[in-house]
Amino acid sequence: MNKTKRIALIGPESTGKTTLCEELAKHFQTVWVPEYSREHVEQLHHPYTLDDIEFCTRKQLEQEDNLLQKANGFIFCDTELIVAKIWCEDVFKTCPDWIEEEIPKRKYDLYLLTYPDLPFIEDPVRENSHRREYFYELYKKELEKRNLKFEVVTGSGNRRFENVLKMVEK
């Protein structure tokens, strides 16, 4: 039986999820799962489609399953299915059934919900600089509705990491 603790980081764009995943993995000497959609969308030569989101979501889960075998006590995931669900609903006004059905099957020991209290940093795949609070509330409502264990991540720099470290160690 795998006793690896699964930690999912979710939250609006540019709220430090990737940085936190990297720092946590380094601290706990384990692996983390990068957000596959960043890599995929950066290479597209067309606006992304619902099919692209589904493809990225499947690849994300595949990467997570593969890296779980290499995890050392913890695995940190730089996104998960709730993000895919909300993104599909926001952009395409629908969510594929399989994503909705898979959410309760994927068990995470803790969700770290990143609050948008960091400055927004533009990059080619980010598109919602003025809607971060809106997305934060959507993620929070979804976590509450599903009665999932989560902590809200606030602060900046070392303080943000120290806050998260306490949450994970608890």
Average pLDDT over residues 38-65: 91
With left for phi above 0 and alpha for psi between -120 and 50, is residue 88 left, alpha or beta?
alpha
1 — pLDDT class (breaks 50, 70, 90): very low
Q: Say what the pLDDT of residue 99 is.
A: 97
- Answer for the pair 64, 33: CB distance below 8 angstroms, yes or no: yes
Q: Tell me the percentage of the chain whose pLDDT exceeds 90.
A: 81
Q: Which alpha helices (H) appear in the chain, and where do they start and end?
A: 17-28, 36-43, 50-68, 81-92, 97-102, 132-145, 157-169
Give dist(CA 12, CA 16) in Å, integer.
9
Could you read off the pLDDT of 14-45 as tens digits, one per residue?
999 999 999 999 999 999 999 998 888 888 88
Q: Say what the pLDDT of residue 2 is.
A: 57
Determine the structural domain holding residue 142 and report its residue range.
5-169
Q: Say what the pLDDT of residue 121 is.
A: 85
Q: What is the mean pLDDT of the chain?
A: 93
Can you tell me whether residue 31 is helix, strand or coil? strand
Structure-token pair, residue 70: 């290499």
Average pLDDT over residues 81-101: 96
pTM of the model: 0.93
How many domains would you assign to the chain?
A: 1
Q: CATH number, domain at 163?
A: 3.40.50.300
